[in-house]
Amino acid sequence: MRKCLSFRNARRLNYARAFSTSSPCLTSSPDTGRLDFRAIDSKWQQRWAEQAQGQRPRRKSHKYYVLPMFAYPSGSLHMGHLRVYTISDVIARYRRMRGDHVLHPTGWDAFGLPAENAAIERGVDPAVWTEQNITKMKQQLKSMNTSFDWDAEISTCSPQFYKHTQRIFLKLFHRGLAYQAEALVNYDPVDKTVLANEQVDSNGRSWRSGALVQQVKLRQWFFRITEFKEALLQDLEYLSEGGKWPERVVSQQRNWLGRSTGARIQFELKNEAGVSTSARVFTTRPDTLYGVKYLALSMSHPLVQQLAAQNAELQRFLDKRASFPPDTKEGFELPLKAIHPLSQENLPVFTAPYVLEDYGEGAVMGVPAHDTRDLSFWKLHRPSDPIPVVVARSNGEVETLYTLPHDLSEAFTNHGTLTSACGPYAGMESQAAGIKIVGDLQERNLAEPFETWKLRDWLVSRQRYWGTPIPIVHCPSCGIVPVPEEDLPVVLPPLVSSVKGQPGNPLDKIEEWVNCVCPKCQKPARRETDTMDTFVDSSWYFIRFPDPQNEHELCSQNSARNTLPVDTYIGGVEHAILHLLYARFVYKFLCQEGLMTQERGRQEPFQRLVAQGMVHGKTFSDPETGRFLLPGELAVDGDLIVMKTTGKVPNVTFEKMSKSKHNGVDPTAAIEKYGADTLRAHILFAAPVSEVLQWDEEKIIGIQRWLGRVKRLVKDLSVRDFSSSLIGANDAFDVSKLVNSDADILLLALSTSRNIQNTFEKDVYSLNTAISDLTKLTNKLHEVGIQNLTPQVAEHVMRALLRLMAPITPAFAEECWEELTKKDSMGSIFDVIWTSDVISPEQESALKARQRLITCAVQVNGKLRFTTEIPSRRPDQSAAIGKEERETEILETILATDEGRLWLTEKNDWERRKRVILVGNGKVLNVVF
Ligand code: ANZ
Ligand code: ZN
């Protein structure tokens, strides 16, 4: 008996483990052999298309806008897409079932380099190439059983869309927020063209010509995002409240904005002839001023540039700039001395690549004892020049310690108490000392409190063809002239064959397009040939979906008010910084322009952000050489996968999918093989949303078995004859007439429903637990047996189960629903009004009272580990069931709890237990391992 129990438990409770040990052969599986998931998918995809989902009139209800990040139309979906669209579709379907007015659109981030490269290499028109890819991918998206509002589909490369991208550019321009300035760009001297960063390889060479890429200054267009830095920073607080955005993303945004408070301090400099100038540094640690041993200027600092004009050796050093590794501590000592503003000591001055030219003042005061980078710099350049420790641990030794650089293994970077080296400030705490030092220097005009930001203006121009044209005209007499709004869109000219295959920006060479008339003076002028960064398109596309056909506005005030902001935005964490920052900026700008609400908090475009983890592929490699193995090099040998050549077992790891690792998985092939619903459930179950998903197809069989079990329950139930009327409403049960298993099932269905609704609504990150909750309910139904339940209860719980599954496995749920309800022709499961609870609160309390629960103290090897609720029995019943049966019941309950699993199956091996002792009919359980 016990043996039998343990077998049953192992199968039921160690569900996840059962997945991994299952046979990889699908068709022979007795559980799923009869189910053709693909056929079910196609049947319902067709039905949904006929019903033109989403167009069904809805009663006036709460709006809900759920948006997955849109895709680049590369031509085929990848696993990341499968994951993000599954998550968004589950939320959208659930919200629709709840009666919300849902907007769940998608579109195409359709501009960008790959289309242009295809054009250059193969002579295909980027527009045609893109259109073909969109058609393919749309088909693939539909094959995933998704429910998108295709009426709202947009593509950023269509003139109807980019007309508005251009309008945003003009709005920014008229506010002085779009401007031109010189900036460093990658320049290929052979092809005479500007390159995107992605086109420069790791050796600094052009991907096309192989030439060493130069950094040259060119006039570029910028958006003044820095104007919004305060608002962008401040509203991060709103986003982190209540976990609207993941804390990790909020802090990445905060770091990118990079506000830093400190002071600017001026140092007097003297050259060898005694002529003085000055330089300012930015520091966050003015309290360390007494520890300054040198000054370092960036390589493009004006003083350095001046000196280099007469100093060939210095110029040679500056020319080596590109060859320094990123963390280099190289430096060049300049023929200058700096004078310490407090001690009047003479300090050496260097130029060094570690000083950034566009941060703070482009200059630092070097404090080797208290800054890590400064310490390594000093060790390299002045290994025998002692350094003073000027800050010490509070309550520690405050006598100054002079040490030789190599005796100091680490800089002391914390705040603390100033040491005796600090003159009148000795003994003060860092913070107070810093304020005092800056205040004292300020009286001599040598310092001031100062704040700097890491955020830079957004460089938006690209010297490429396949992007939104910048709506500007350059006129010899009027200068920069914006294209009037009524002349928008400035349409991209067709890519004429003469420019195909040529380097550089094709737009420069299409004379009939470039030559135009100045809108102001009507004289000949030239069009701007830069196009916009595709991040500009994606910075506002979500504003377009609520009103995609509007010709005159991005989105009407009314649609904006009714639909924006996005309620849930879902996408890869790789967009945690730039895309989200740009979108927040543009949204704030448009709010300021009066397009969107001024209400605080709602000036954020994405009220909740779900950042999904990556999908990693199963990767096989040769344990001896580390070489990645092709699928063809592997063979199945019994339960093992081995290398064909040696018969040895390969290393198995999970890694980012890539061609070189032969570990990519094609989502469409997987859908063909397993069916979309199976994959959707598998994707959700295999990992929590934010974590890496290790794609292991062997585990899909577990999901198929589960669905097979649900299908059989439906069949068992639908062949039964319910002559008594069915229960539609919650209050139709007479609790007193139910049997015990009815009560158990109803209570389990209730808690399952509550958990799952909570997950769908608030806790999307744990969608994986929704699947395990659903399988638990399924298994319980199986175990109890449909025939042992009161028919009304069986039917009621089964309907609840299907409804809870529907957002996740929509076609499968429809199919089961149809079978289960065909006698009352209830229509689509998605049309059923969602009742939030399986049973009423009154029924719940009646059932709980009836099932009276008692508390069981669970001990492991005699030690109390946790307590849990288990059902008690009325004395008359406990006599009726045997002792062993009672024990079984209690063990099952405990093993089904999280703590039970933790203590009895994870921390200990349940299969290897020595003894189980039950005291007082369940008051204490002791398991000895
Ligand atoms: C002296 C000092 C002493 C510093 C000390 C730190 C610790 P965050 O916090 O990132 O803003 N710094 C200033 N301008 C720089 C530039 N253009 N390139 C490289 N480094 C620069 O960093 C501020 C600190 O970074 C400043 O404070 C400065 O070093 C350095 F015990 O000044 B500190
Ligand atoms: Zn003009």
What is the tens place of the pLDDT at every residue in 217-243? 889 999 999 999 999 999 999 999 988
Nearest CA owner, ligand 1 atom 29: 283
Residue 240 main-chain phi, psi, to 5 deg: -85, -15
52 has pLDDT over 70 = no
- To 10 degrees, the CA torsion angle through 552, 558, 563, 564? 70
How much is the pLDDT for 116? 83
Centre of ligand 2 from the C-alpha of residue 460, in Å: 24
Q: Is 351 in the pocket of ligand 1 (CB under 6 A)?
A: no
Q: Grade residue 1 by pLDDT with cuts at 50, 70 and 90.
A: very low
Of 66-80, 596-610, 745-759, 802-816, the range with the lowest mean pLDDT is 596-610
Indicate the CATH number of 721-847 among 3.90.1150.150, 1.10.760.10, 1.10.730.10, 3.40.50.1980: 1.10.730.10
How much is the pLDDT for 6? 32
Nearby residues of 690 by Cβ (< 8 Å), 6 or more positions away = 246, 573, 611, 612, 613, 765
Tokens 């104007």 locate to: 227
Mean pLDDT of the 584-595 span: 93
* Cα–Cα nearest to 86, from 563, 687, 493, 843: 687
728 has pLDDT over 60 = no
Among the bound ligands, the one closest to the CA of 454: 1
726 has pLDDT over 90 = no
Pocket test for ligand 1, best of 265, 283, 287, 455 (most atoms within 8 A of CB): 283
Q: Is 53 in the pocket of ligand 1 (CB under 6 A)?
A: no
Nearby residues of 197 by Cβ (< 8 Å), 6 or more positions away = 186
What is the tens place of the pLDDT at every residue in 354-381? 999 889 999 999 999 999 999 999 999 9
What's the half-sphere exposure (Cβ side, CA atoms, 13 Å) at 279?
Answer: 29
Of 270-279, 540-549, 597-606, 622-631, the range with the lowest mean pLDDT is 597-606
Q: Is 450 in the pocket of ligand 1 (CB under 6 A)?
A: no
Q: Grade residue 469 by pLDDT with cuts at 50, 70 and 90.
A: very high
Mean pLDDT of the 602-607 span: 92
Q: What share of the chain in percent tops pLDDT 90? A: 62
Q: Grade residue 879 by pLDDT with cuts at 50, 70 and 90.
A: low
538 has pLDDT over 50 = yes
Whether 698 contacts 24, CB under 8 Å: yes
What is the tens place of the pLDDT at every residue in 613-636? 999 989 999 988 989 998 889 998
Q: Grade residue 612 by pLDDT with cuts at 50, 70 and 90.
A: very high
Among the bound ligands, the one closest to the CA of 482: 2
Q: Grade residue 198 by pLDDT with cuts at 50, 70 and 90.
A: low
Centre of ligand 2 from the C-alpha of residue 508, in Å: 20
CATH number of 852-928: 3.10.20.590
621: left (phi over 0), alpha (psi -120 to 50) or beta: beta
What is the tens place of the pLDDT at every residue in 240-275? 998 899 999 999 999 999 999 999 999 999 999 999
How much is the pLDDT for 873? 65
Nearest CA owner, ligand 1 atom 20: 355
What is the tens place of the pLDDT at every residue in 407-446? 888 999 999 999 999 999 999 999 999 999 999 999 999 9
What is the C-alpha radius of gyration for the chain, rounded to an integer number of angstroms?
A: 34
Task: Tell me the H-state helices in 65-125.
Answer: 79-97, 113-122
Q: Is 300 in the pocket of ligand 1 (CB under 6 A)?
A: no
3-class SS at 17? Answer: helix
How much is the pLDDT for 51? 81
How much is the pLDDT for 199? 72
Q: Is 370 in the pocket of ligand 1 (CB under 6 A)?
A: yes
How much is the pLDDT for 401? 74
Element (H, E) at 744: helix 740-761
468 has pLDDT over 50 = yes
Question: Quick one: which atom of ligand 1 is closest to the CA of 369?
Answer: 31
Cα–Cα distance between 47 and 272 in angstroms, integer? Answer: 87
The token duo for 486 is: 């009524």
Mean pLDDT of the 859-881 span: 73
Nearby residues of 241 by Cβ (< 8 Å), 6 or more positions away = none
Q: Is 290 in the pocket of ligand 1 (CB under 6 A)?
A: no
9 has pLDDT over 50 = no
Cα–Cα distance between 534 and 578 in angstroms, integer? Answer: 12
Q: Is 493 exposed, middle or buried (0-12, 13-18, 19+ CB in 10 A)?
A: middle
How much is the pLDDT for 28? 35
* Cα–Cα nearest to 54, from 88, 26, 96: 96
**Rounded (5°) CA angle 900-687-899:** 10
What is the tens place of the pLDDT at every residue in 759-802? 999 889 989 999 999 999 999 999 999 888 988 899 899 999 99
How much is the pLDDT for 7? 31
Centre of ligand 2 from the C-alpha of residue 525, in Å: 7
Q: Is 282 in the pocket of ligand 1 (CB under 6 A)?
A: yes
606 has pLDDT over 80 = yes
Cα–Cα distance between 118 and 230 in angstroms, integer? Answer: 42
Question: Quick one: which atom of ligand 1 is closest to the CA of 284?
Answer: 27
Q: Which strands sit side by side in the sheet containing 693-695, from one edge to the other?
A: 651-656, 615-621, 693-695
Q: End-to-end alpha-carbon separation of the chain, Å?
A: 19
Neighbours of ion ligand 2 (CB under 5 A): 475, 477-478, 518, 520-521
Cα–Cα distance between 465 and 169 in angstroms, integer? Answer: 18
Q: How many Cβ atoms sit within 10 Å of the Cβ of residue 422? A: 25
Q: Is 356 in the pocket of ligand 1 (CB under 6 A)?
A: yes
Q: Grade residue 58 by pLDDT with cuts at 50, 70 and 90.
A: low
**Rounded (5°) CA angle 736-739-743:** 80
What is the tens place of the pLDDT at every residue in 843-857? 888 887 777 777 788
Q: Where are the domains of the chain?
A: 166-224+457-533, 225-258, 260-451, 721-847, 852-928
Centre of ligand 1 from the C-alpha of residue 355, in Å: 9
What is the tens place of the pLDDT at every residue in 92-104? 999 999 999 999 9
Mean pLDDT of the 515-533 span: 97
> What CATH topology corresponds to 260-451?
Isoleucyl-tRNA Synthetase; domain 2 (3.90.740)
Cα–Cα distance between 272 and 81 in angstroms, integer? Answer: 64
725 has pLDDT over 70 = no
